Amino acid sequence: MVAVALVSAAFIIRSQSTTTATALGPVGATETVPCPSSVTDGAALKAAGDEVEGKTFSCGVVVSPENHDKPDGRTIELFYLRLNAKTSPAAAVPLVYLAGGPGSSGSYELSANPLLKQNLDRVRETRDVIAYDQRGTGYSQYLLCAPFEATLGIL
């Protein structure tokens, strides 16, 4: 939880919740970032033994509109874990994994659950697998509601 709070705080300090696309970069811009230790130390990645950050997997953020009906409005950063395909070049279309429960993190589920990773490794024979932390979960930028924004002095 502390790691999640620190990374989330870093995203907020970097981008604030009122940032526009021009401050973060264009919508759809991605940036590779170091994977948090909770991802690299996850049971599924450790159990595999052959997973190497920067070679077989990486982490990053993508800039997304907060509201897709207002593409020039506020943006947020969404965190992802990318497991590279075992063949090169990979198929053009990756498989995107989204966590199923409220408040669940795709990157955590994929890095911590050996059975899930084992099943998705079959897909990795030909294509990348990308696990997103949906907004407000895991390491993605959370959205503050008005009472909390006022408390933090953002409004």
Q: What pLDDT digit, counting tens, does each position of 94-129 carry? A: 999 999 777 789 999 999 999 999 999 999 999 999
User: What is the reported pLDDT for 113?
Assistant: 92
pLDDT of residue 100: 78
Nearest of 50, 125, 123 to residue 88 by alpha carbon: 125
| pLDDT given for residue 48 in this prediction | 73
Tracing tokens 């503050």 back to the chain, one arrives at 144
Asked whether 38 and 111 are in contact (CB, 8 A), the reply is yes
Convert the pLDDT of each residue in 21-76 to its tens digit.
334 567 788 899 999 998 988 888 887 778 999 999 999 999 888 888 988 888 88
Q: Spell out a b/e string for 112-145, using b for 16 or more CB atoms within 10 Å of the CB, else e.
A: beeeebeebeebbeebbbbbbbbbebbbbbbebe
Tell me: pLDDT of 143 over 70.
no
Tell me how crowded residue 40 is: count the other CB atoms within 10 A of its CB.
17
